[in-house]
Chain A
Amino acid sequence: MSSELENLYQQIILDHAKRRVGQGSTDPASGAGSVPEEEPAAGSPVAGALATGALATGASHQLNPICGDELTLRVWIADSRIKRVVWEGAGCAISMASASVLTELVSGETRDDMMEQLDRFRELMRSRGTIVPDEEVLGDAAAFAGVSRFPARVKCAMLAWVALEEAVLAANC
Chain B
Amino acid sequence: MPILSAPSHPLSDEEVGRIRNDFPLLANELNGRPLIYLDSGATSQNPISVMEAEQEYYEQRNAAVHRGAHSLAVEATDAYEFARTTVASFIGASPDEIVFTSNATEALNLVAYSLSNASLGLGGDAARPYALGPGDSIVVTEMEHHANLIPWQELAARTGASLRYIPVDDDGALRLEEAASVIDGSTKLLAFTHVSNVLGIINPVAELVSLARGVGALTVLDACQSVPHLPLDVAAVDVDFVAFSGHKMLGPTGIGALYGRAKHLHAMPPFLTGGSMITTVTMERAEYLPPPARFEAGTQRISQAVALGSAVNYLAETGMDRIEEWERLLGERLVVGLEAIDGIRVLGPRSGQPRIGLAAFDVDGVHAHDVGQYLDSRGIAVRVGHHCAQPLHRRLGLTASTRASTYLYNTTDEVDAFLTAVAEVRSFFGAAASGVSA
Chain A residues near B (Cβ < 8 Å): 1-2, 4-5, 8-9, 14, 17-18, 66-70, 90-94, 150, 153, 156
Q: How many residues of B contact A (CB 8 A)?
A: 22
Q: Which residue of A lies closest to B394 (CB)?
A: A68
Q: Which residues of chain B in 353-382 are interfacial with respect to chain A, using CB atoms and an 8 Å cutoff?
A: 366-370, 373-374, 377-378
Given A67-B384, A68-B399, A69-B400, CB of A5 within 8 Å of CB of B377: yes
Residues of B within 8 A of A2 (CB): 31-32, 377-378
Residues of B within 8 A of A153 (CB): 369, 373
State whether A14 touches B369 (Cβ < 8 A): no
Q: Which residue of A lies closest to B399 (CB)?
A: A68
Chain B residues near A (Cβ < 8 Å): 31-32, 366-370, 373-374, 377-378, 384-386, 390, 393, 399-400, 428-430, 434
Given A2-B31, A4-B377, A5-B374, CB of A94 within 8 Å of CB of B369: yes
Residues of B within 8 A of A4 (CB): 31, 377
Question: CA–CA, A90 to B32, complex, Å?
Answer: 32
Q: Which residue of B lies closest to A93 (CB)?
A: B370
Q: Which residue of B lies closest to A90 (CB)?
A: B399
State whether B374 touches A67 (Cβ < 8 A): no
Question: CA–CA, A9 to B369, complex, Å?
Answer: 12
> Least Cβ distance of A101 to chain B in Å?
16
Q: Which of B31, B369, B377 contacts A92 (CB 8 A)?
A: B369
Q: Which of B400, B430, B434 contacts A67 (CB 8 A)?
A: B400
Question: CA–CA, A93 to B369, complex, Å?
Answer: 8
> Least Cβ distance of A121 to chain B in Å?
19
Question: CA–CA, A150 to B376, complex, Å?
Answer: 11
State whether A150 touches B373 (Cβ < 8 A): yes
State whether B31 touches A18 (Cβ < 8 A): no
> Least Cβ distance of B136 to chain A in Å?
31
Residues of A within 8 A of B390 (CB): 68
Residues of A within 8 A of B434 (CB): 18
Q: Which residue of A lies closest to B377 (CB)?
A: A5
State whether A67 touches B31 (Cβ < 8 A): no
Residues of B within 8 A of A156 (CB): 369
State whether B367 touches A91 (Cβ < 8 A): yes
Question: CA–CA, A67 to B393, complex, Å?
Answer: 11
Residues of A within 8 A of B428 (CB): 1, 9
Question: CA–CA, A4 to B33, complex, Å?
Answer: 13
State whether B385 touches A66 (Cβ < 8 A): yes
Residues of B within 8 A of A17 (CB): 429
Question: CA–CA, A70 to B400, complex, Å?
Answer: 11
Question: CA–CA, A18 to B432, complex, Å?
Answer: 13
State whether B32 touches A92 (Cβ < 8 A): no
Question: CA–CA, A8 to B376, complex, Å?
Answer: 12
Q: Which residue of A lies closest to B430 (CB)?
A: A14
Residues of A within 8 A of B367 (CB): 67, 69, 90-93
> Least Cβ distance of B401 to chain A in Å?
10
Question: CA–CA, A94 to B393, complex, Å?
Answer: 21
Residues of A within 8 A of B399 (CB): 67-70, 90
Question: CA–CA, A9 to B366, complex, Å?
Answer: 13
Question: CA–CA, A9 to B399, complex, Å?
Answer: 22
Residues of A within 8 A of B366 (CB): 93
Question: CA–CA, A66 to B378, complex, Å?
Answer: 22
> Least Cβ distance of A118 to chain B in Å?
23
Question: CA–CA, A1 to B424, complex, Å?
Answer: 11
Question: CA–CA, A66 to B368, complex, Å?
Answer: 11
Closest 7 pairs between A and B when the two form their complex, measured CB to CB: A92-B367, A92-B369, A5-B377, A68-B399, A67-B385, A2-B377, A67-B400
Interface centre among B31, B369, B374, B386 (most CB of A within 10 A): B369
Given A2-B31, A14-B429, CB of A68 within 8 Å of CB of B393: yes
Q: Which residue of A lies closest to B436 (CB)?
A: A18
Interface centre among A68, A91, A153 (most CB of B within 10 A): A68
Q: Which residue of B lies closest to A89 (CB)?
A: B399
> Least Cβ distance of B375 to chain A in Å?
10
Q: Which residue of B lies closest to A3 (CB)?
A: B377
Residues of B within 8 A of A18 (CB): 430, 434
* A2-B32, A67-B400, A150-B373 known, 6 other contacts, Cβ within 8 Å: A8-B373, A9-B429, A67-B385, A68-B400, A91-B367, A93-B366
